[in-house]
Amino acid sequence: MVFYKACINKRVDMKRILFTIFTLLLAATSFAKEIPLVSNIYARENISLNGKWNYVVDPLENGYYGYRLEVLKNGFFKNRKAQNPQELVEYNLDTSPIMDIPSDWNTKDDQLFFYEGTVWFKKDFEVSKEAGKKYVLYFGAANYDTKVYVNGTKVGEHIGGYTPFNFDVTDEITNGNNFVVVKVDNKRHKDNVPTVNMDWWNYGGITREVMLSVLPETYLEDYFIQLPKGVTNLITGWVKLNNPLAGQTITIDIPELKIKQKLLTDTDGKAVFEIKSKPVLWTPENPKLYDVALHSENENISDKIGFRTIETKEKQILLNGQHIFLRGISIHEEAPFYQGRAWSKEHAVTLLSWAKEMGCNYVRLAHYPHNENMVREAERLGLMVWSEIPVYWTISFDREETYQNAQNQLRDMIYRDKNRAAVIIWSIANETPHGDARDKFLSRLSSFARQQDNTRLISMAMEVTEAPNNINKLDDNMNEFVDVVSFNQYLGWYRGTNESCKDMKWEVPYNKPVIISEFGGDALQGMHGPKTQRWTEEYQEELYIQNLEMLDKIEGLSGLSPWILVDFRSPRRQLPGIQDFYNRKGVISNWGIKKKAFFVMQDFYNKKKEEYKTK
């Protein structure tokens, strides 16, 4: 109103002002075509865009900014070609080098091993465009700041390196030849999530699968089909169309349970249901999955869904009402054997099979949401999952933009995997410094996670770094916002010695289950010596022996996820001849060779498995 009166007093043409505002808003949103994620993308009709892509390294971002740092109208995204010998075009995406996608540029191009900045990618593809179809361009992930163009038109952008995103490109796609150009920038910034300082490799590129999904105009956008918390004889949930159409028929079909129920959508295009049934419950010993089909008036999709409950009772974790111990290991999304960003089903099977061989029934997928293949294969193999967002170390907790970024990543993680029975814990942070801003930031994330999904547990990796008089006491205000108290500790490596473990006591003053989310130490596979010599397999082996004996005495201990399954690349780890830019805390080497500590954990977990059979 104040603005309006000021304009009247100055005889400003309000129609012209409103028209200008509308024009600016239209310009700002003309490329904002990111739409809600298409759930279960693999069940749709897809055109794979994996494979050979051209790429151009652009450290000065000449393809995006002019020399005055204005955004170009005809940048690399236009994929221009010189029309005559006199025309100046200083790039050619068609003749640029080739890279396999999905991948990371750090391990695909030796010159880009340490590179952080912008790389442009281009892919040509053909489409037989059909009338009445919607075309959605889907990315499993790209790290970190991604701008996407189809046939020279910007269709959207996405922030965050580990969550999927998709754009409606129906209007931009043509019948016949098309091209997509993607600008990916993985520069680290203080206010990003994660921030500038982290202990894993900042792999750049289009790191997960890309596909063009062909959908009906009205399609099954999303659904949630699970057991309510603590209930094992009632399947509940909802199904949602992408359009707010009432009176649309959707059928849920679970043949093995003799379920076939028709639903009608409300004015939001959503249908809610409750179905009495008593499914065989998913467990690590019997990871039962049911074939579930959803039929709308325009589409049929299928999924495999397991049913289980996960709760806590005082200091116990209950799976399907039974007291369990989480025999776990932490895992980075690092490809086995050849190194680089993992993304495929084959990568997932290799990593998870090693965890199973060690005796695990649980994996902590750190420190960010892993690819969908990893979560689905864990579910198929009978491994419970801790899934985490990269709120890691010293995030800008006082900035609202940083919070919104973290919340968006949490939303997308939960959105994609909410139907996966294997996922039992949503983790909201790792090793964050105490303080009022941090407590407010994380408590908001905890509340948001519960709003999105109240059927799972909430946790975060806290830390213990001091022990006055050999008493380790966990003291963290976030205890009231989590269901499971989890913390990292590195006795024998970053503080004290392996012998110190014998004298240490632990106090966790909360009536909640306890998970040791990290412990461990480095060893170069093949390096041997006395058990008091750092970097040897014997030192790491002794560290595990002493830590397990110490930690097993903690009241309410409900699980472990030692750090870490496999050695992984990290620019923080520079010691020549030993680290060589690898964090060597893996119980398996980067070449897949098991260290002595692997067998210590295997023996411990076999004993735990027998112990809990009798409980």
Q: How many residues does the chain have?
A: 615
Mean pLDDT to the nearest integer, 590-607 = 97
| Structure tokens that stand for 42 in this block | 């693999």
SS3 state at 144: coil
Q: pLDDT confidence of 405, banded at 50, 70, 90?
A: very high
Q: pLDDT confidence of 12, banded at 50, 70, 90?
A: very low
Query: pLDDT tens across 485-537, in order?
Result: 999 999 999 999 999 999 999 999 999 999 999 999 999 999 999 999 999 99
Mean pLDDT to the nearest integer, 235-254 = 98
User: What's the confidence (pLDDT) of residue 464?
Assistant: 85
Query: pLDDT tens across 391-404, in order?
Result: 999 999 999 999 99
User: What's the confidence (pLDDT) of residue 204?
Assistant: 98
| 473 membership: H or E segment, kind and range | strand 471-473
User: What's the confidence (pLDDT) of residue 4?
Assistant: 39
Query: pLDDT tens across 286-300, in order?
Result: 999 999 999 999 999
Please determine, for residue 152, whether its predicted confidence score (pLDDT) is greater than 80.
yes
Measured torsion, CA atoms of residues 373, 375, 377, 378, in degrees rounded to the nearest 10: 160
Query: pLDDT tens across 193-205, in order?
Result: 999 999 999 999 9
| Sign (positive or negative) of CA dihedral 302, 47, 136, 210 | positive
- How far apart are alpha carbons 527 and 575 in whole angstroms? 14
Answer whether 0.85 is exceeded by the pTM: yes
User: What's the confidence (pLDDT) of residue 21?
Assistant: 42
For residue 90, CA distances in Å to 75, 79, 152, 229 come to 10, 11, 17, 60
Among 424, 414, 425, 435, which Cα is nearest to 478's? 435
User: What's the confidence (pLDDT) of residue 615?
Assistant: 63
Please determine, for residue 18, whether its predicted confidence score (pLDDT) is greater than 80.
no
Amino acid identity at 610: E
- How far apart are alpha carbons 124 and 139 in whole angstroms? 16
Please determine, for residue 2, whether its predicted confidence score (pLDDT) is greater than 60.
no
For the chain, give the longest Cα–Cα distance.
87
- How far apart are alpha carbons 369 and 156 in whole angstroms? 22
Please determine, for residue 26, whether its predicted confidence score (pLDDT) is greater than 50.
no
State the pairing for strand pair 557-560/514-518: parallel
| Range list of H helices, 77-218 | 105-108
Calculate the average pLDDT of the chain: 94
Mean pLDDT to the nearest integer, 224-252 = 97
- How far apart are alpha carbons 448 and 444 in whole angstroms? 6
| Structure tokens that stand for 519 in this block | 């412990």
* Residue 73 DSSP class: S
Please determine, for residue 8, whether its predicted confidence score (pLDDT) is greater than 70.
no
For residue 328, CA distances in Å to 356, 363, 518 come to 9, 5, 10
For residue 514, CA distances in Å to 185, 390, 391, 465, 506 come to 39, 21, 21, 17, 11
Query: pLDDT tens across 79-105, in order?
Result: 999 999 999 999 999 999 999 999 999
- Asked if 133 and 217 touch (Cβ cutoff 8 Å), the reply is yes
| 516 membership: H or E segment, kind and range | strand 514-518
Query: pLDDT tens across 155-180, in order?
Result: 999 999 999 999 999 999 999 999 99
Q: Within a 10 A sphere around the Cβ of 459, how many other Cβ atoms?
A: 28
Percent of the chain with pLDDT strictly greater than 70 = 94
- How far apart are alpha carbons 203 and 103 in whole angstroms? 9
Phi (first) and psi of residue 34, to 5 degrees: -65, 130
Q: Return the ∠ at Cα 9 (arms to 8 and 11), rounded to 5°.
A: 60
Query: pLDDT tens across 547-578, in order?
Result: 999 999 999 999 999 999 999 999 999 999 99
| Structure tokens that stand for 240 in this block | 């949602």
- How far apart are alpha carbons 491 and 536 in whole angstroms? 17
User: What's the confidence (pLDDT) of residue 468?
Assistant: 84
- Asked if 291 and 265 touch (Cβ cutoff 8 Å), the reply is no
State the pairing for strand pair 362-365/326-331: parallel
Angle, helices 436-452/400-417, rounded to nearest 10 degrees: 30
